[in-house]
Structures are given as C-alpha cells and as structure tokens.
Amino acid sequence: MGLSRRDLLWLSLGAAGGLTGARVWAGLRGRRPRPSLAADSPRLLESAEYGAMAGPPPDLGPQALDDLTLLPPAAAGPRHYRLEVEELNVAVSQDQVLPAWTFNGRIPGPLLRANAGETVNIEFRNGGARPHNLHFHGAHEVAVDGWEPLPPGGTRRVQFRAAPAGLHPYHCDMTPAPEHISRGLYGLLVVDPPGGRPPAKELALVLGGFDTDGDGRSDLFGWNGVPGFQMKYPLRVRVGELVRVYLLNMVADEPVISFHLHAQVFDVYPSGTGRTPAARTDVVTLAPTERAILEFRLPESGRYMFHPHQARLAERGAMGWFTAL
Ligand SMILES: [Cu+2]
C-alpha cells in the first residue's frame, strides 16, 4: 500500500513525539485515520447532517474557550503582554491533530484589550524553528509595524499606542502569510473608545481555517479555534440584553466569509471604528482580516443559529448557536 500525502502528514506528526504524538500513534495503530473532510470525500459531505461534519476534541469542556470568547474587563492600563511563538501539535477537532504554529500555545492567540491612545507593551519571542514576526493592524508608527523577521530564539520588545478605537487583528506576516496564519498565528486586539462602549454582553468570535490535508486550502473551520464548539456549547446570553460581538475573519485562503444570524437582525460597525452603524441586517460579509462589531438583542428565549452562508464552511465546523435564556 502506498503512502498518501495525508499518511505522511500523520506519520510526521507521530514522529514529532510527545503526548499528542503518542495519541496520534495509538490512533494509527488502531485504524486508518478517518478520511479528512477534504474534497476527496464528497459522499461524506452529502450524507452528513448539516453542521455535523466537525466536532470539537472530546476533552474540551464548555468553558474551554472562555478566555478567547469572553472579553477581559475594560480596565485601566498599563498593558503588558507576552506573546511567544510555539510550534506544537494541536488537536483541532474530534479527529484531527495538526502541526500548528501558535502564539502562547493556543489558536487564536490571546484576546488583547486596551484603551484608545494607551501604550501597549509586548514582549515578543520566537520559540519556533523558523523566522516569524508580529504585525498589528490599526494605526501605529511605521517603525513598529512588525513585518521584519524575528529569527528562532529571538526576542523583540514591541511598543505602540493603541489606535484607533475598534478591533484589529494581529498576526504573523511572514511569507507565505496564508500558511503562517492558517497554522494558527493570529489573534484579536480590541481597542476601547474614550469613555468605553455601553454595557453589553461582549463576545469575541474569530473565524479561522485549518488545512488538514496539506493542499494549501482550509478544509476545517472554527470560531475561536475549534470547529463545532459553539454547536456543542451554545453561547449563552440573556433575553433582551445588548449583545456585542467582536467579529474577525482570519481565514486566509477563502476570498470572503460571512456571518449570518437566524431570526434576528444586528447593527454593523465596520472595524468598530465608527459610532454610527453602517447597516442593520442579518448577514455581514468579510474579506480576510476584515472585521466588524455586531450589536443585537435576542427578544425571546430560544436557540438562534449562526453560521457563514458559505455552506462549505458551515458544514465543516463554523456552525454555532446563541442560546437566549
Ligand atoms: Cu510565522
């Protein structure tokens, strides 16, 4: 039997050793790895229930993504963060472990928050095996734009004033950037306007894609890093309360994604930079690194579905629910 490209990927994963590697090997011994959700399995796609194509790793509990989903308090500064590139195997779904490149071991990286005009200090370290960098969107001095490569083992102090108010991605921008991003090197910085925003239930939703078969195209998708997580564990809000979603698209290899909410409409603030909504709608479309603040209230108890309106993405992990209680 010849070895497929995917077998080689799994073998190299196992050879990378460690606990995760051992788990991969156990899976390999027991059975052939389940076919991935790649384009070579159309029958699987057709037979699957809508949204049931990808579930989270079984050991993830309902609070597993709280630190990436619930906004940290909008407290006063100063802001000191440490971001370290770590290359390690990450279980990204119920049956996929990928050799990932991460900030601080997680995908996405930490959810950062600052007040507009405040100085953000970051100690950036490259603990990986190849050059990486750290590039923020938003406005800052061009000297700290961050595109210069940082060699393995290198450390760099990054300091900039957070601007403008809104939400801005950060990511590794090394070439090829789609690979450095889809392997996990991205995150979200929320910048609060002077005086803050009105009280609300605040949630971050960052969509990422995973290339599980090494063909350069994402074939699993997850909000805050885990396909199917918000299907299994709906996001809980109170009936009638203001909900503010900080929405970011970090799928680097799809031309656009969208976010569609069922049974309700929301106000859209593109990049979160304005105070007047640009639209009231139930679907918003985002190119790579594009983002928006969405605000809405769910008027009655029940489950409200959300998903990209690209069926391929929804079926491969990007479905979710809000539960209003
Ligand atoms: Cu990188």
pLDDT of residue 13: 35
pLDDT of residue 75: 74
Q: How far is the CA of 172 from the centre of ligand 1 (A)?
A: 5
> Is the pLDDT at 21 greater than 80, yes or no?
no
Q: How far is the CA of 125 from the centre of ligand 1 (A)?
A: 12
Closest C-alpha among 96, 99, 129, 92 to residue 18: 99
Q: How far is the CA of 132 from the centre of ligand 1 (A)?
A: 4
Q: How far is the CA of 175 from the centre of ligand 1 (A)?
A: 8
Q: How far is the CA of 200 from the centre of ligand 1 (A)?
A: 35
Q: How far is the CA of 270 from the centre of ligand 1 (A)?
A: 27
Pick the CATH number of 66-192 from 3.40.50.1460, 2.60.40.420, 3.30.1330.10, 3.40.50.10490: 2.60.40.420
Q: How far apart are the first and last CA of the chain?
A: 54
Q: How far is the CA of 133 from the centre of ligand 1 (A)?
A: 6
Please count the residues of the chain.
Answer: 325
> Is the pLDDT at 178 greater than 50, yes or no?
yes
How far apart CA 259 and CA 104 sit, in angstroms, is 27
Closest C-alpha among 26, 37, 28 to residue 93: 37
Q: How far is CA 1 from the centre of its chain?
A: 37
pLDDT tens digits, 235-293: 999 999 999 999 999 999 999 999 999 999 999 999 999 999 999 999 999 999 999 99
Look up the pTM and report it.
Answer: 0.85
pLDDT of residue 51: 52
Of 12-21, 208-217, 233-242, 270-279, the range with the lowest mean pLDDT is 12-21
Enumerate residues 6+ apart whose C-beta is below 8 A from 59: 91
Q: How far is the CA of 134 from the centre of ligand 1 (A)?
A: 8
pLDDT of residue 179: 93
Contact call for residues 315 and 53 (beta carbons, < 8 A): yes
pLDDT tens digits, 113-160: 999 999 999 999 999 999 999 999 999 999 889 899 999 999 999 999
pLDDT of residue 53: 61
> Is the pLDDT at 32 greater than 60, yes or no?
no
Q: How far is the CA of 104 from the centre of ligand 1 (A)?
A: 13
Q: How far is the CA of 29 from the centre of ligand 1 (A)?
A: 33
pLDDT of residue 14: 34
> Is the pLDDT at 218 greater than 90, yes or no?
yes
Q: How far is the CA of 149 from the centre of ligand 1 (A)?
A: 9
Report the 10 Å Cβ neighbour count for 100.
21
Q: How far is the CA of 228 from the centre of ligand 1 (A)?
A: 26
Q: How far is the CA of 124 from the centre of ligand 1 (A)?
A: 12
> Is the pLDDT at 44 greater than 90, yes or no?
no
The residue ranges of every structural domain in the chain are 66-192
pLDDT of residue 73: 81
Q: How far is the CA of 259 from the centre of ligand 1 (A)?
A: 27
pLDDT tens digits, 45-101: 343 455 556 899 999 999 999 999 999 887 777 789 999 999 999 998 988 899 999
Q: How far is the CA of 302 from the centre of ligand 1 (A)?
A: 41
How far apart CA 119 and CA 105 sit, in angstroms, is 25
Of 27-36, 160-169, 186-195, the range with the lowest mean pLDDT is 27-36
Identify the sign of the CA torsion 236, 241, 244, 249: positive
State the pLDDT confidence band at 27, using cuts at 50, 70 and 90.
Answer: very low
> Is the pLDDT at 180 greater than 70, yes or no?
yes
pLDDT of residue 78: 74
